[in-house]
Structure 1
């Protein structure tokens, strides 16, 4: 249900932003907001927590948006989401919006999870490899997840490629239990 709500908010915001010529500005705002959430687990937790009143979340989001000089559409979306009990979904809204914007530009988004951060050269090589496989421009978004231990997980659309060490070890563990 949460993914559906995030999709509805992101789609509505994208359509409004595109019709008003602010799609790129809103995309930049949401990217900056995701960075804020990634760098502050406390903020993400507070927005998702039912212990904090909706109006408190609206105030926090408004202060953040004004300090970062976000577009008015972004600010309004934050307020509507918070008042409707969806402040904790704003990170997902940002992800869905980014995918919608990339699709509109004709670019396919690849979500890549790695155990350690990729260098710029590695990211470019991965993008080139994926472009060869899919025949389209690829925008690579990375997420560091140390629990993978090594390797990577790449998700492009509905296709997922998992070459993480964690998955391989889990597979070996299962095979050994069956033996």
Structure 2
């Protein structure tokens, strides 16, 4: 498998590649992606869950049992549940957010998609995401998977990152540019 961007170079990348290979061999790429998306949302929404994966005081056994119970209550697939157990045993649960990002990149590459990180001041609805995906598809020439984030600090507009390209049409940037121009 061709690893672009040096994903295998990082610790989280090696774990993501291992999970991706197992999921591909089991024909469970999308199932695992769904479980990882649920974990990503749980990390973003729950301070307790974020504390669990970053806790240095939990023993391997306690972390394994706790993460197993969380996986069971979330209804995660068996492969992802076993993978979380391995992470707990190896004391690598803190790498989970980076592993999820690397897995998403691997899956997008496998599907021939580009990944776009889109930041907006307000949540985008499904119609807006679909329209943005269509517009970006014409720009980059292939399907685009959108990872939407909300940052009220940009005030309005969008910031789109695709690979090393960034399109910043945020009001914050426009105001900063105007302020710099007025200073002379």
TM-score, normalised to structure 2, is 0.83
Q: Distance in 2 between matches of 1:60 and 1:153?
A: 37
Q: Which shows bigger deviation, 131-140 or 59-68?
A: 59-68
C-alpha displacement of 1:17: 0.9
Q: Distance in 2 between matches of 1:169 and 1:76?
A: 49
C-alpha displacement of 1:10: 0.9
2:71 pairs, out of 65, 70, 79, with 65
1:83 and 2:73 are equivalent in the alignment:
no
1:31 and 2:42 are equivalent in the alignment:
no
SS at the partner of 1:150?
coil
C-alpha displacement of 1:175: 6.2
Q: Distance in 1 between matches of 2:57 and 2:171?
A: 38
Residues 85-105 of structure 1 deviation map (CA, whole Å, 9 limit, x = unaligned): 321221221122122112211
**Gapped runs of 5+ residues in structure 1?**
none
- Measured at CA, do residues 66 and 161 of structure 1 come closer, stay the same or move farther in structure 2, by a change above 3 Å? same
Residues 54-100 of structure 1 deviation map (CA, whole Å, 9 limit, x = unaligned): 43332221111112232222112212222323212212211221221
The count of corresponding residues between Structure 1 and Structure 2 is 176
Q: Distance in 1 between matches of 2:175 and 2:82?
A: 46
- Measured at CA, do residues 173 and 11 of structure 1 come closer, stay the same or move farther in structure 2, by a change above 3 Å? farther
1:129 and 2:135 are equivalent in the alignment:
yes
| 1:30-49 matched pairs, under 5 angstroms | 30-49=36-55
| 1:13-24 matched pairs, under 5 angstroms | 13-24=19-30
SS at the partner of 2:30?
helix
Q: CA RMSD in A?
A: 2.2
Residues 30-60 of structure 1 deviation map (CA, whole Å, 9 limit, x = unaligned): 1111111122133113311324444333222
- Measured at CA, do residues 19 and 165 of structure 1 come closer, stay the same or move farther in structure 2, by a change above 3 Å? same
2:12 pairs, out of 6, 20, 38, with 6
1:116 and 2:122 are equivalent in the alignment:
yes
1:165 and 2:171 are equivalent in the alignment:
yes
C-alpha displacement of 1:135: 0.8
**Gapped runs of 5+ residues in structure 2?**
1-8
C-alpha displacement of 1:164: 2.5
Q: Which shows bigger deviation, 68-77 or 115-124?
A: 68-77
TM-score, normalised to structure 1, is 0.85
